Amino acid sequence: MSTEHTFLAIYLGSMTGTKMAAWQAMPEAERKAKEQEGMAAWHGWVEKHKAVIVELGGPLGKTRRIDASGVTEVSNALTGFTVVRAASQEAAAELFKNHPHFTIFPGEAIEVMPVLPIPGR
């Protein structure tokens, strides 16, 4: 019996990339139809994997960076997240193959990383 681990999946995309430019260039009716197709596929993905989804997550909004010099607004490629359980990082990655984020929507990639234990606990 394998032990399951927790993995964070980060959805990546660019507001200025070629996929987003093509998405924005679509006629509105076509884009709306694609959005409906994408959301149906995304809900199907969630239904298929609901047993291993720890936190469905969701889209991410504007980012604020906090450091020693204060708070600033920044841009990055993070567009959303989901937390899943799997036996390995490879198994977690397999869950996201052909995901609607990049097969239907103009997302570029999904990165999957283990959530590690806090040292000393």
Which pLDDT tens digit goes with each residue over 43-70?
999 999 999 999 999 999 999 999 999 9
Q: Can you list the alpha helix ranges (DSSP code H) found in the chain? A: 18-25, 28-49, 89-94, 100-103
pTM of the model: 0.91
Q: Give the list of residues 6+ apart from residue 57 with CB closer than 8 angstroms, or none.
A: 9, 80, 81, 82, 83
Domain ranges (residues) in the chain: 5-114
Query: What is the rounded CA–CA span in Å between residue 115 and residue 83?
Result: 9
Superfamily name with CATH number, domain 5-114: Dimeric alpha+beta barrel (3.30.70.1060)
| Concatenated DSSP letters of 19-39 | HHHHHHHS-HHHHHHHHHHHH
